[in-house]
Structures are given as structure tokens and as C-alpha cells.
């Protein structure tokens, strides 16, 4: 546990590594809840939860028999239709649909707890998600087993201390693992307990210091001798060293040797040194397991696409990253070391147009202690623009600082899909103008501008290609589509940035001219008609001439809805068609 604290991996003084595991797992998979319950059978209790609170006592009890007989993930795609889930469990959690339960077992197979993923919609894990769940389950089981080992060792240590106190009262001046060295003669006495520590009988150990050094591991010998010399030369108040020592069977144990000079001559030279030797092999093994677990947790965060981080804002406003995973370089082109030394290195990559919003979002979560969620763009040299999504939870610390545990993901592919879907939903696929629905939305926005701003005017034009049916009949629908695209291209060339054009259906089009009155709209229509006459569609070497009829109406503040404006322009268009086509009529 000390090693985990030293590495500062994913946790803090107030954060359980199990909580970090379920939080990262739920964020990666995008599910409603992720939790770890510990215990056995019907006695499972929640240990770590991320996401919406959910009662799992009856639910896990429904699956106890299955979990006791499997080492793999138990998946319930839809709890509402799965016979393994009893009705009482469903009544307790009526919104629950998807369940993935993975037993957490000790090396010997003992069930330590369950890792659960829960969702309020049916869900199916893909192969990668299945593998990620197994990896996190393995880490969680290792952590729980090591935690249990630590607890057992603490109990054993306390029992040993009680025993040592009783032994000290019963046998004053002696104990297991005691040694007594004559510094001048080089003789050393070992108690029976000390010899038994290494597997020796009383007569199998010599009494020379030179022999004792042969049992010290070669890699530790120089360190042991130097530590003893420092104490003998008054440079340290006592002797204490951890090292490996060879047993009778040839194996090595880790021991802690403590001692002190208890006799010196008048010149201050050391005469006698007494001490004890303690077997700390299990402690070192546990420390090594903890180190490996810390390494595994670091590897986990480094392998997940994205950046896991811990960020702190002190009471006086000082900012710093306290942990950054390796994904920072992929997301921002900045290494974890750079961010740990300079937190503003990340801010420098944020798109200038999004920086103010980014800073405001962090100020808000600091002030209100609400979860942070923000989508923003980054500019990375050599890579261009990308989209990032940040999520973090703030925690008020006793010293007045705020600590975030969070995750930042690359959402550029999702944003590209969103943009494509937006174009698909708002654009007429044939002409690439706005479709009817999106044009009406923009017309509604223009009407709102006219009603809010007294000086703002706008005009609406309805356009209809003349004799389009004849073109289709003579040339076919494929050429008819080319005619519509050709007309849309000419129309688009006449538009300003503030103007909007759309295809309402068939050969009927509409245009909204912002900051324009009917005379300006009429001029726009005249230019369009002239362009149409001078640039016919050429198909197979033949020119296909076309004309357009135009009806114009002003958009007025008194129009209570867009249909009123459309009706007036439609009336003007009907008049243009009725009066011979290829005309421009304004609603009077």
C-alpha cells in the first residue's frame, strides 16, 4: 500500500483504487453504472460505485449460483426478459436492463466479490469491451486479495507483538533471532531462534563474523558492511539494514537486522554490539506485488485511448497536474512530464475560439463543485484541428484546494459523423441547397430578426422553373436532374453569405435575402434570369434553355408565422406564371 501511495497512480488520499477502476471502465464503455461488490453469496456489499446508484442485493443474489460456477463474464442482455433474474430484483430496479457480472476470485479460486456493469437499455459487449472488463476484473481481484493479505498480516503482526511482550516478561534479555557480537575478537553469538530462522540446528552455525558475511547475498554485502561501519564509527545512532540472507536449503530470505553498540572502551572504540534479526520476506513479497499492481494500473491507464489525469487547484489559485497518463502526447502533442511541470502547456493547444469557454467551464466546476464536461477543439502542429471531450469530478479537499479525477477522449471521428449527419439532415441531396425543412427553420430565424430589429428588413422570393415537365418529357429525368443542379449552381453564385436558398420540392425554389427590400430582391431576380439565359445547360452538344418565374414579398414584423410570408410570395409567383412566365412579380 505504501508503494501504491508513492506511485500516486489514479488515487489520492481520499480515493480508492477500486473507485478509479470502475470510473474509468464506465466512462470507457459509456454505461449507466459500474460497481464492485465484495463478500460472498447473499452477503455482498457495495465497495465501489460510479454512475447512477442502484440496489444490487437481490439482483446479484439471483445470479449467485451462476457466479459460483464460472470464472468468465456472466452477461444479461435484457434483464426484463431473462429468466435468471427474479421478479423481486426487477421490482427493486425497474429501469435495469443490461447486466454484465464478472466474479473476482483469489488465486486459489475463492470468490472475493463481483465486478458489475449496469445499463438502462439492452446492450451487448463487443470483443474489445469484453477483454477490457476481464483485465479490470483481474486487477480488482489482485487488489482485493492483496488488501486481505495486508489485513491478515496486520493481525498476525499484532499477535506477534503481544507474544513478544509476553516473551519479554518471561525471558528477560533474550528472544528469537537475537545476536551478540564481540567487535574486537570477531566472534558472534546467535540464539537458537536466530539459527532456526534460517533452518539450522544449534551446532550447524559457526561463531565467526567472517562466516556470517558468507551468508549475505553478494549484491547486498557491501551495503551491509558499510552500514555496520557507519554505526561502529559513531556516524549513526543505531544499525538497521534490510538485506537477503542465505538459508540452509540455499534459498534466500529477506531480513531486517537491527543492532546497537552497547559497550565501548575509554577511547570510544566499539567493543560489543547486540541486535535482532527479523524475517521480512512476506513484507518484501507484498511490496513487490504492490509495485507490480501499481505498474499494471499505470499500464492500464496508458493503454486506454485517451488521457487519464488528476488535476489540483490550490486555495490560492495555483494549478497543477498531479497525475497524467501517457495518452497526453497522442491527444495534445505534450508529454506527461511537460504537463506535470507546466499545466499551461495543455491550454496552449486549445483552439483560440474555444479557449474562453474552456476556462469558463473549469471556473464553473471549481465554484459549484459540479462534474466537468466540455467539448472543444485543439490545434496541434503538424496534425491540424481535432475535437476533444473532457470529463472530471471535482472534490473539495480539507486544505481548501479542489482536486479533479478525469479523463479526456478524442471525439474527432464522432464530430465528423455529426457534421455529415447535419449535412444529410439539412441539405437537398440533388441540388446541395437547403432542403424544405431546414429552409423553413432559417426563414423562421430571419422573421425573428425582422421582428426584433426595427431597422432590419428581409425579402422572400419564390422561384419556379418554367415548362420543366416538357424538359423531362423531351430529355428524360436524368437530364431533368442536371437542369435542376445547373439552376441551383447559378442561384448559389448570386447569394451573399447572409442569404439563404432552398429547394422546396420538384422545380420550386425559395430565397431569403437578409437586409433587403423588394426592389433589391427584384434586382437579384433580374440578374438570375439574365445569367440563366446566358448560360444554358449544354448536354451532348445541345443547349437546353430554361426560364424562371419569380414571386417576391417582403417579410414584415406583423407576420405572425412564416406561412404568412410564404403565402404572399406564392401569390406573386402565381401571378408571374399566369401572366406568361419568365416574369418577376412583387406582392403589392
Helix (DSSP H) and strand (DSSP E) numbers for the chain:
20, 22
Angle between helices 127-170 and 281-303 (to 10 degrees): 160
Position of cell 424562371? 548
Contacts of residue 55, Cβ cutoff 8 Å, sequence gap at least 6? 92, 93
3-state secondary structure of 555: strand
> Which of 238, 507, 526, 530 does the annotation list as catalytic?
507
Instruction: Provide the β-strand partners of residue 239.
Output: 259
Q: How far apart are CA 136 and CA 441, in angstroms?
A: 48
Angle between helices 468-475 and 477-494 (to 10 degrees): 140
Question: Cβ–Cβ contacts within 10 Å for residue 25, how many?
Answer: 25
**The dihedral sign for the CA sequence 142, 146, 149, 151:** negative
The C-alpha cell at 250 is: 540455499
Among residues 538, 531, 439, which one has the least CA distance to residue 479? Answer: 538
| Maximum separation of any 2 CA atoms in the chain, in Å | 132
What letter would DSSP give residue 70?
Answer: -
Known active-site residue 507: yes
Q: How far apart are CA 180 and CA 193, in angstroms?
A: 13
Among residues 288, 284, 194, which one has the least CA distance to residue 248? Answer: 194
Q: Which residues of 434-455 are buried (b: 16+ CB within 10 A; e: fewer)?
A: bbeebbbebbeebbeebeeeee
Q: How far apart are CA 40 and CA 30, in angstroms?
A: 28
3-state secondary structure of 349: coil
Active site residues: 507
Amino acid at each position: 500500500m505504501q508503494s501504491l501511495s508513492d506511485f500516486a497512480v489514479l488515487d489520492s488520499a481520499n480515493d480508492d483504487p477500486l473507485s478509479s477502476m470502475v470510473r474509468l471502465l464506465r466512462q470507457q464503455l459509456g454505461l449507466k453504472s459500474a460497481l464492485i461488490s465484495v463478500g460472498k453469496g447473499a452477503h455482498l456489499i457495495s465497495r465501489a460505485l460510479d454512475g447512477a446508484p442502484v440496489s444490487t442485493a437481490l439482483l446479484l443474489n439471483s445470479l449467485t449460483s451462476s457466479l459460483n460456477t464460472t470464472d468468465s463474464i456472466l452477461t444479461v442482455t435484457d434483464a426484463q426478459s431473462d429468466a435468471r433474474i427474479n421478479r423481486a430484483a426487477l421490482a427493486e430496479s425497474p429501469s435495469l436492463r443490461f447486466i454484465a457480472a464478472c466474479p473476482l476470485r483469489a488465486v486459489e479460486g475463492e470468490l472475493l466479490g463481483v465486478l458489475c456493469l449496469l445499463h438502462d437499455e439492452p446492450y451487448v459487449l463487443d470483443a474489445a469491451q469484453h477483454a477490457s472488463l476481464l483485465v479490470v476484473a483481474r486487477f480488482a481481484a489482485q487488489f482485493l486479495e492483496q488488501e486481505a493479505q495486508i489485513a491478515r498480516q496486520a493481525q498476525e503482526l499484532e499477535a506477534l507483538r503481544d507474544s513478544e511482550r509476553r516473551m519479554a516478561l518471561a525471558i528477560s534479555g533474550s528472544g528469537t533471532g537475537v545476536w551478540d557480537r564481540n567487535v574486537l575478537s570477531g566472534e558472534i553469538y546467535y540464539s537458537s531462534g536466530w539459527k532456526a530462522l534460517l533452518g539450522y540446528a544449534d551446532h550447524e552455525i559457526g561463531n565467526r563474523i567472517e562466516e556470517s558475511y558468507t551468508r549475505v547475498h553478494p549484491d547486498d554485502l557491501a551495503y551491509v558492511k558499510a552500514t555496520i561501519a557507519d554505526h561502529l564509527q559513531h556516524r549513526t545512532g543505531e544499525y538497521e539494514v534490510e538485506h537477503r540472507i542465505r538459508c540452509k536449503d540455499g534459498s534466500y530470505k529477506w531480513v531486517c537486522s537491527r543492532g546497537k553498540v552497547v559497550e565501548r572502551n575509554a577511547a570510544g572504540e566499539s567493543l560489543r554490539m547486540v541486535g535482532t534479526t527479523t524475517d521480512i520476506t512476506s513484507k518484501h513479497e507484498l511490496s513487490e506485488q504492490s509495485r507490480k499492481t501499481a505498474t499494471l494500473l499505470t499500464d492500464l491507464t496508458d493503454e486506454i485511448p485517451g488521457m487519464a489525469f488528476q488535476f489540483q487547484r490550490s486555495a490560492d489559485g495555483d494549478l497543477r497536474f498531479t497525475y497524467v497518463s501517457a495518452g497526453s502526447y497522442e491527444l495534445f502533442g505534450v508529454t506527461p512530464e511537460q504537463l506535470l511541470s507546466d499545466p499551461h502547456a495543455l491550454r496552449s493547444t486549445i483552439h483560440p475560439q474555444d479557449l474562453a469557454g474552456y476556462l469558463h467551464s473549469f471556473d464553473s466546476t471549481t465554484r459549484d463543485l459540479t462534474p466537468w464536461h466540455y467539448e472543444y477543439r485543439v490545434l496541434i502542429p503538424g496534425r491540424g484541428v481535432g475535437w476533444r471531450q473532457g470529463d472530471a469530478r471535482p472534490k473539495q479537499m480539507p486544505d481548501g484546494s479542489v482536486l479533479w479525477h478525469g479523463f479526456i477522449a478524442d471525439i474527432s471521428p464522432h464530430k465528423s459523423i455529426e457534421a455529415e449527419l447535419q449535412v444529410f439532415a439539412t441539405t437537398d441531396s440533388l441540388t446541395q441547397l437547403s432542403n424544405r425543412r431546414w429552409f423553413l427553420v432559417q426563414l423562421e430565424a430571419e422573421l425573428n430578426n425582422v421582428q426584433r430589429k426595427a431597422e432590419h428588413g428581409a425579402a422572400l422570393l419564390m422561384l419556379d422553373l418554367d415548362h420543366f415537365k416538357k424538359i423531362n418529357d423531351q430529355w428524360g429525368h436524368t437530364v431533368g436532374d442536371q437542369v435542376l443542379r445547373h439552376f441551383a449552381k447559378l442561384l448559389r453564385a448570386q447569394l451573399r453569405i447572409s442569404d439563404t436558398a432552398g429547394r422546396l420540392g420538384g422545380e420550386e425554389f425559395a430565397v431569403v435575402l437578409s437586409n433587403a427590400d423588394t426592389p433589391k430582391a427584384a434586382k437579384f431576380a433580374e440578374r438570375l434570369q439574365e445569367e440563366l439565359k446566358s448560360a444554358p445547360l449544354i448536354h451532348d452538344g445541345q443547349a437546353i434553355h430554361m426560364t424562371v418565374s419569380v414571386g417576391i414579398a417582403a417579410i414584415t414584423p406583423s407576420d405572425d408565422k412564416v406561412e404568412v410570408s410564404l403565402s404572399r410570395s406564392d401569390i406573386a409567383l402565381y401571378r408571374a406564371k399566369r401572366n406568361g412566365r419568365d416574369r418577376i412579380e412583387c406582392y403589392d
